[in-house]
Structure 1
């Protein structure tokens, strides 16, 4: 009996040690991911490359799979195949600017801080429309659910209006948490941020965010990004041609960005 008890104690201790070993390995993997992403941030700002590299695959986590199984509700004002695109500006504008982003992407924040207002202004003469293609692969790369939760909330904003979506989009980037944190995974935090957009927090919006009504749509949008062959964010194209978002070690200035866009679109 004593030997059996000793064996049980040893077995329990071994199980605990094995669990601790696995957790340490997982922690080291998470640390390597964070260090890699932070290193790419430096490279992105120094060399003008896109920050976030899509190393995930379609529906490769449980959250995305669960969202895919729920009823699909497409927000009003969604455009493109299966409603997976958000078009800002005049729908029949002769030129198109495609913007590929992930709400958790730090260099997307740098781009938005430098040229988010410029993107808006470029649409005002009706010559260029903007098509947003949004991703959620940083949830897979970094862990958490902030990208897809923010994307679902953006769907609720889109349902309220394209201008509401753009304003909420801008607020999210202005208040983006550190990439090592998953602040956008908290719907209450997203609702607090939505309060910065006048008229956005209707009862319908709050319910849609709280109930994750547009989570299945967000999964479809993320899948569409994964199928786009665009491998990094931020990426901007005008009429299918890429725009250089960084010059030297800094984001392109509004003047530099605008000049590139107009040159590619033949508007100079």
Structure 2
């Protein structure tokens, strides 16, 4: 190695180390934001329950809009004939902020769809496909299992996966649990268990990840309405998401 190469190599190593430090710092900041969001939402939910005397208030009663699986792996929830506005939800079952959104506005989204006010497209994918274990494995196993669920029971399974979400730094979403939770929501039989055991998402999971890349998804939840990303007020508050859908028109 020449004298010129030595300092250059050292500089490159230093630059690489700084880049890695910045990535770690960004991740710590992001996790901190998620923790704050979850805490704020938890306080709001507790307050709402106290005010309403235990009534969930925004939980839909009665019919739910039909759900159908698309060739790209997404799940569409819409009343017949409803084509817009289109609400797309990119989510990862291991993402704490996605769980926070589901807790805060998941029922609102379903009610709007059941009322024929919006067409919802759920786009689960693996945000953590390049993350270290156990986060990557948790994310991938849950995603694969969701592709094994039939469309008419998919939303119930989707909800159960978020209910059972564990911490990123502990092994979770293990196959035996994924099968047991499916049975709890009415998905039984050996076909589902076999699909989960062989990582049945396969090509569908790859298509889902590709769709997220095409949409330039950088974090989750990533929610768009007619192609425009919604801000946190809309994503994490029932009033915000209702207002966004109302203003979008048809």
Query: Partner residue of 1:164?
Result: 153
- Is residue 222 of structure 2 the alignment partner of residue 235 of structure 1? yes
Q: How far apart are 1:178 and its partner, in Å? A: 0.5
TM-score normalised according to structure 2 size: 0.70
Bigger RCO (CA 8 Å, 6+ sep): 1
Q: Name the CA distance, whole Å, in 2 between partners of 1:156 and 1:215.
A: 10
CA change 1:129–1:84 in 2 (3 A) is: same
In angstroms, what is the RMSD of aligned CA positions?
Answer: 2.8
Q: How far apart are 1:46 and its partner, in Å? A: 5.5
CA change 1:37–1:201 in 2 (3 A) is: farther
- Is residue 211 of structure 2 the alignment partner of residue 266 of structure 1? no
Q: Name the CA distance, whole Å, in 1 between partners of 2:28 and 2:111.
A: 31
- Is residue 30 of structure 2 the alignment partner of residue 40 of structure 1? yes
**Structure 2 contact 182–188 (Cα < 8 Å) conserved:** yes
Specify the SS of the correspondent of 2:130. Answer: helix
Q: How far apart are 1:113 and its partner, in Å? A: 0.8
Query: Partner residue of 1:152?
Result: 144
Q: How far apart are 1:108 and its partner, in Å? A: 0.6
- Is residue 118 of structure 2 the alignment partner of residue 134 of structure 1? no
Unaligned regions of 5+ residues in structure 2, if any? 1-19, 39-66
Aligned residues: 199
Deviates more, 1:98-107 or 1:223-232: 223-232
Matches within 5 A, 1:154-233: 154-157=146-149, 160-161=150-151, 163-184=152-173, 186-197=174-185, 199-233=186-220
Query: Partner residue of 1:23?
Result: none
Deviates more, 1:120-129 or 1:238-247: 238-247
State the Cα deviation string for residues 108-143 of structure 1 (Å, max 9, x = none): 111111111111111012231111122213141243
Greater C-alpha radius of gyration? 1
Q: Name the CA distance, whole Å, in 1 between partners of 2:219 and 2:177.
A: 27
**Structure 2 contact 34–96 (Cα < 8 Å) conserved:** no
**Structure 2 contact 145–201 (Cα < 8 Å) conserved:** yes
**Structure 2 contact 145–199 (Cα < 8 Å) conserved:** yes
**Structure 1 contact 45–246 (Cα < 8 Å) conserved:** no
State the Cα deviation string for residues 199-246 of structure 1 (Å, max 9, x = none): 212332222112323323212212221222121110111111222234
Specify the SS of the correspondent of 1:200. Answer: coil
Specify the SS of the correspondent of 1:140. Answer: coil
TM-score normalised according to structure 1 size: 0.65
CA change 1:47–1:240 in 2 (3 A) is: same
Query: Partner residue of 2:241?
Result: 257
